[in-house]
Amino acid sequence: MTDERTEEAPTAEVPVDAQSSTGPEHGANQGETGSKALQELLELSRQQRSQEQAEAPTGELEPKETGPADARAPKTSTAKSKQRAEHRGASQRIAQRVARRTVGRLVSGSGTSVNTQPVPIVTALKGSPYKAPVQASEPGEDEARMVLDFAADIAAIMMRAGAGTSDIEVSVIAACASFGLTTAQVDLTSNTLTVHYSTSDGRLMTVMRVNRGESIHFAKLGSVHKLVTELVAGNIGFNDARSRLDAIRHQRRPYREWFVTGAWGLMVGSLVVLLGGGAIAAGLGIVMSIFISQAGKVIGRTTLPSFFITTLQAAIATLVAMVAGNFGIIESPQYLVAAGIVLLLPTQSLYSSVQDALTNFPLTAAGRMVGVVLTLAGIVSGLALGVVTGEAIGLDPIEVLVPKTGVHVLTAIVSLVAAAVVSMAGVVGMKSTRRFILPAAFVGLASYITMTSLTILSVDNVLACLLASTVTGFLARPLSLRFGAPAIVLMIPAIYTLLQGLSIFTAVYQIVAESETTSFAVGLSSLFSAILANAALAVGAVLGSYLARPLKSLKADAVEKTAESARSSDSTITMDTVEPRD
């Protein structure tokens, strides 16, 4: 009995000392609290051990002092003493177990409430097209490293092709979750992506990708979207997914370069017609667009910063319009300049920056917004340079007032056709596949009709831009998902019909060419209103996309049903044999 009680205390001390020496540290206050608790527990354990050792001899000597006549009494007292000791030992063991648990929570910080635990990364897929992934079992260390490389390559392709930050994040999370890396953490800031993962045995792995520049290629975005959708549905293994992603990386552009340049020219010519210009002005707009595009490419080979390239392109557009107006080739050169401004506007960057700001990516949004502001500054500087240069060589100033005309049936039909052509040309210019041409025309027409109706009703220009672009986003998201691509593939081409190029040119002209009716302050106010109207277009597009989330496309329904059936049958996809890449 004495041996049992003397061995009990040391075994209770060992886990406590081990926990106090090896437990993680979580700050000074928590360490002090843990130390105090350990000291109190150790002191209590020492007192109990001393008391037991003091009582042990007394309990053993009592039977020796009694004579043989009272042999039954020592046996009875010994049995009772043994029962009390066993009961006391069981109570002490329970108390020590509870104490060890309490001290462990104090030292390691594992007593955190459920509400403060980290949110599972899969919850970030809520509201996205990949919200119901079929999750595989956790892979081994080598396989996990390959999955991380695979997910990072998806992000690298999307960043270079022009995707939004939120789209990139959900794609990476969906890919990781589909292959069992449900605890992976994704950090996407500006042009850098970092993916962290910790294995079940505590090994840490980190993969990083840096995007050095964009090359707009919406066809790649559609291909990546299809790949991730099949991963989420559990229809493809790792090796097949790896092969398809490598093929996407080397995917050719859907159109030749000369065809893309011609599409941009056709878009500028259609914008001239949409604003109110004639056939000659539209033809001149096509030629001017091709010229400034090629000039920008030639100048870009000198590694000149994009700010100066944009400035020179805007100045060329302004001078071409002034020359055409002075020689009587066209009657309204302001429409030609406005169409050229729309060509130079950073539409995709503006939309992505606003989307990042509204989806909790402030650093990335700030970086994109700096680029947008610099591009707008280059356009304004180029317009001012063109106007000043034209006046210096004796050209007459451009009349910026837009004549008011009534609504005519023929004019309305021509404008609708021009709006459709603008959106279709935008699809080609952003290098999307041919199947998006007609859907883009539909969304662009709906947006333009909404904008025209609000203008007829005398709605404020900024509010009209916001509402019209909301319609754009509301229609673009379900249609693009139906055709197997992210919403941006239809959003950007359709929004070209709403851009406020004429307002920007009018404001800049008021700043540069002051007169009795205009002043610098008036021009500056007009410029701010024009920039605000273009920003409202991006805000409305993001709002419309969020409003359209409850609308599920047919393919999204199919993916969700597949995932639900997989879960109901308690089946999970497993990674096939992973072969190392050369």
Model confidence pLDDT, tens digit, residues 500-512 = 888 888 888 888 7
Whether residue 269 is predicted with pLDDT greater than 90 in this model: the reply is yes
pLDDT at 541: 94
Which one is predicted more confidently, 48 or 453? 453
pLDDT at 521: 79
Confidence class of residue 42 from pLDDT cuts 50, 70 and 90?
low
Confidence class of residue 308 from pLDDT cuts 50, 70 and 90?
very high
Whether residue 28 is predicted with pLDDT greater than 50 in this model: the reply is no
Average pLDDT of 253-280? 92
Percent of the chain with pLDDT over 90: 43
Q: How many CB atoms lie within 10 A of CB 413?
A: 10
pLDDT at 360: 86
| Inter-CA distances, 91 with 2, 16, 85, Å | 17, 18, 10
Three-state DSSP class for 175? helix
Model confidence pLDDT, tens digit, residues 414-466 = 999 999 999 999 999 999 999 999 999 999 999 999 999 999 999 999 999 99
Whether residue 80 is predicted with pLDDT greater than 80 in this model: the reply is no
CA 248 to chain centre: 21
**Residue 493 burial class via C-beta count within 10 angstroms: exposed 0-12, middle 13-18, buried 19 and up:** buried
Domain positions in the chain are 121-250, 257-557
Model confidence pLDDT, tens digit, residues 345-364 = 999 899 999 999 988 898 89
Contact 302, 350 (CB under 8 A): no
CA distance 223 to 493: 18
Model confidence pLDDT, tens digit, residues 229-239 = 999 888 888 99
pLDDT at 411: 82
Mean pLDDT, rounded, of the chain:
79
CA distance 272 to 285: 7
Whether residue 7 is predicted with pLDDT greater than 50 in this model: the reply is no
Confidence class of residue 129 from pLDDT cuts 50, 70 and 90?
confident
Average pLDDT of 168-189? 89
Place of tokens 């240069």: 389
Place of tokens 């100048």: 299
Contact 183, 198 (CB under 8 A): yes
CA 6 to chain centre: 63
pLDDT at 67: 46
Whether residue 73 is predicted with pLDDT greater than 60 in this model: the reply is no
pLDDT at 92: 66
Three-state DSSP class for 577? coil
Three-state DSSP class for 359? coil
Residues near 546 by beta carbon (within 8 Å), at least 6 away in sequence: 473
Handedness of CA 565, 570, 576, 581 (dihedral sign): positive
pLDDT at 27: 39
